[in-house]
Amino acid sequence: MAREEDSALVAEAKKIPVDPVTYSYTERDVILYNLGIGATETDLQWVYEGDDEFGAIPTFGVIPQFHASGSVPLDWLPDFNPAKLLHGEQFLSIKAPIPTSGELVSSARLLEVLDKGKAAAVTSVVETRDKSGKLIFENQSTVFIRGSGGFGGPRAGTDRGAATAENAVPKRAPDAVVEEKTTSSQAALYRLSGDGNPLHILPEFAAIGGFNKPILHGLCSMGISGKHVFQKFGAYHDIKVRFAGVVYPGETLVTQMWKEGQKVIFTTRVKERDAVVLASAGATLVSDSAKAKL
Active-site positions read 195, 200, 215, 218
Mode of pairing for the β-strands spanning 252-260 and 275-285: unpaired
Which residues have a Cβ under 8 Å from the Cβ of 173 and sit 6 or more positions away?
A: none
106: β partners: 21, 128
Q: Which of 20, 229, 45 is nearest to 107 (CA)?
A: 20
What is the Cα–Cα distance from 234 to 50, expressed in whole angstroms?
A: 22
* Alpha carbon distances (Å) from 239 to 91, 102, 188, 280: 6, 23, 25, 11
241: β partners: 90
What is the Cα–Cα distance from 217 to 191, expressed in whole angstroms?
A: 8
φ and ψ at residue 225, rounded to 5 degrees = -70, -35
DSSP H helix total and E strand total for the chain:
7, 10
Q: Which of 18, 43, 176 is nearest to 108 (CA)?
A: 18
Q: 287 in the Ramachandran plot: left (φ > 0), alpha (ψ -120 to 50) or beta?
A: alpha
Task: Reduce the secondary structure of 86-115 to three states and give it as a string.
Answer: EEEEEEEEECCCCCCCEEEEEEEEEEEEEE
CA atoms within 13 A on the CB side of 142: 19
